[in-house]
Amino acid sequence: MTTFVKGWLITISISIGCLIFVDGKAQNWDINLLKQINPSQPNSGLWKGFSSSAKPLSVGVPGVMLAVGLLNKDSALTRQSLELVGSVVLTTVATEAIKIIINRDRPYRKYPLEVFPYDGSETGKSFPSAHVSLSFATATSLALVYKKWYVTVPVFVWATGVGYSRLYQGEHYPSDVFAGAAVGIAGAYASHWLQRKLLFGKKKIAIQR
């Protein structure tokens, strides 16, 4: 079994294990923390901005990087953008797979008189948070690619803000957010590993020839 497969199995197992623990022994903690963060009228423009930026930025950043890399024939930038694309794709697949397996309802559906959603029309399942998994996948990939504090700090502040916004808006439990962050980080590292594996594999073939 490859390191890649092992990593994903561990991530999925941890995510499922966290939910079992939360549902079985710590549900009160999960919902109580959410109620402390989620106001009766979650209309803040700041947190709305964080939440609504997750998916557009997670798709747009690698898309712009790829376009610029191809137009300028910048092979390094193109490889970096493909690593981000891989991170987003892997994270999306893992997130949706776990959602199907766990099938957890949104908190405002289980606690309609205690949780006040910003947008109660979202029909997707709750665990893990897709907004959070994508934002942390993007942030982690950018940190792995650029390794500069002035990149790493802002992107993780943004990703953390997305996580908080999902709680503020009453769309997810805290455990959904924590699991989403774990899946996103794992997806970024998996894409980074694959990119290096493929790159170094091609170099070895070239050297042998």
Q: Which domains does the chain have, with CATH numbers?
A: 3-208 (1.20.144)
Residue 122 belongs to what H/E stretch?
none
Prior bond to 128 cis, omega within 30? Answer: yes
How does residue 206 score in pLDDT terms, banded at 50, 70 and 90? very low
CA–CA distance, 127 with 175 (Å, rounded to integer):
8
When the pLDDT of each residue in the chain is averaged and rounded to a whole number, the result is 84
pLDDT on residue 136: 96
pLDDT on residue 114: 92
Question: Where do runs of H (alpha helix) occur along 103-129?
Answer: 107-110
Kindly tell me the sign of the dihedral angle through the C-alpha atoms of 54, 60, 65, 66.
positive
How does residue 11 score in pLDDT terms, banded at 50, 70 and 90? low
Using CB atoms within 10 Å of the CB of residue 41, give its burial: 0 to 12 exposed, 13 to 18 middle, 19+ buried: exposed
- pLDDT surpassing 70 at residue 19: no
CA–CA distance, 36 with 41 (Å, rounded to integer):
13
Percent of the chain clearing pLDDT 90 (strictly above): 66
CA–CA distance, 130 with 89 (Å, rounded to integer):
12
Note the pLDDT tens digit of each residue in 162-195.
Answer: 999 999 999 999 999 999 999 999 999 999 988 8
Lookup result for tokens 């209309």: 43
Contact criterion met (CB below 8 Å) for 106 and 151: no
Note the pLDDT tens digit of each residue in 50-79.
Answer: 999 999 999 999 999 999 999 999 888 988
Identity (one letter) of the amino acid at 21?
F
Reported pTM: 0.84
Identity (one letter) of the amino acid at 32?
N
Greater pLDDT, 38 or 208: 38
